[in-house]
Amino acid sequence: MLHEQPETFAGTLVEPRAALTAADPEAATILAREERRQREGLTLIPSENHAFPQIRAMLGSVFADKYAEGLPGRRYYGGAAHVDEIEDLARARAKALFGAEHANVQPLSGSPMNQAVYFGLLEPGDTILAMDLSHGGHLTHGAPVSAMGKLFRFIRYGTRPGGSFDMDEIRAVARRERPKLVITGFSSYPRDIDYAAFRQVADEVGALAMADVSHVGGLIAGKALANPFDSGFDIVTTTTHKTLRGPRGGLILCKAAHARAIDQAVFPGLQGGPHMDHVAALAVALKLIDTDAYRAHARQVLVNAKALAGALTARGATLVTGGTDNHLMVVDVAASFGVDGAEAQARFDRVGLVANKQVVPDDDRPAMRPSGLRLGTPAVTTRGMTAAEMDGLAELIVATITQARPETELRAQVQALAHRFPIPA
């Protein structure tokens, strides 16, 4: 038996789960294993989180059955009255929460989200100034291995040894290369960004300014970090899971002047019908985020990250940039403990901790065995942990990396901590 008692969700018996078990016990068993892994382990990957429980109600709803090519009021299929309502609700909530003039809630994930901006506002071959992948940028910001890196001319900037940006150098590069778009944003950069400084660089060369805040979108919506629109940015993109705790997808926010180009780049440019169950779930997430409780949660994510960074440093860990201003940190495990990131990640897996290997700036190791390990506090904060738990968590992290105690003992400690702080609902 997978479940001794029927599961409930919001007080209602979940009949589809029983149907799944009866129809496909093999798949249901794998699902149960994943549930157990998440329940008994601790997620420290900064791009992973536990969605609001209410999100699953929409993801499992009849909205999943509806095609909705087009935009509200301009669909290519009939029967669209209610998908129009839910998409309009999601768009209105997104605009209000981020202070944007326009929102497109249809991108299926982060990569097509950013691609829609490029194709909507630029021409192939145009120059884009963006952050180097090894210094914290993202694949879609022009990494040579990405499709966008082949279609557009990306010029990349990095960070100084201490982790700060040399804005004079970035300005000089922009003046020399004359980009059409200046991007700021990251996937592994642990510091806050001076958006006004990047907006000034864009203005000096007549470029558009875009911020990819996929990692910190929820912290911006929760008023814990600065909003790029307050510095006059033209476009802000964010994935809708991570710190937003919504469904997996993408969200493009922009000034009204770019609305039509962005919308057409999403559909029919890059994709057909949006996943309306995801759009509906995003509408719910945006409502749950616009609360005092969530704003307190966003602040706690940052408090926990700083506490964890300090506790790791005290135990001999070398952190890229020396610390963190946001929800994530990168530990140079090779320099700190003589272990590469892949091995550190494998040791984590065996005890129930989950992190990901990560390149460090100008890493001389291969991408699959890099020098770093990326950690974050969103998921453990969602489980209810506070700064009081970060010292013990840091001890577990270092003991796991260094194999200071038997893995069976470490796994038992991880499970005990996970049981103290269960995943919501």
Q: Which residues are catalytic?
A: 67, 69, 212, 239, 242, 248
- Has 139 been labeled as part of a binding site? yes
Cβ atoms of residues 324 and 310 within 8 Å: no
Which segments within 300-368 are labelled E, that is strand? 328-332, 353-354, 356-358
CA dist 207 and 244 (Å) reads 29
Instruction: Name the strands in the sheet holding 356-358, side by side, starting at the edge strand that comes first in the sequence.
Output: 328-332, 372-376, 356-358
CB 375 within 8 A of CB 388: no
Tell whether residue 241 is among the known ligand binding residues: no
138 known member of a binding site: yes
Using alpha carbons, select from 106, 168, 160 the residue that is nearest to residue 136.
160
| 50 annotated to a ligand binding site | no
Q: Please check whether residue 35 is in contact with residue 364, taking contact to mean a CB–CB distance below 8 angstroms.
A: no
Element of type H or E holding 202:
helix 195-204
Query: Cα angle at 328 between 300 and 333, to 5 degrees?
Result: 135
- Report the half-sphere exposure of 304 (CA within 13 A, side-chain side): 27
Binding residues for (6S)-5,6,7,8-tetrahydrofolate: 133, 137-139
Binding-site residue ranges: 133, 137-139
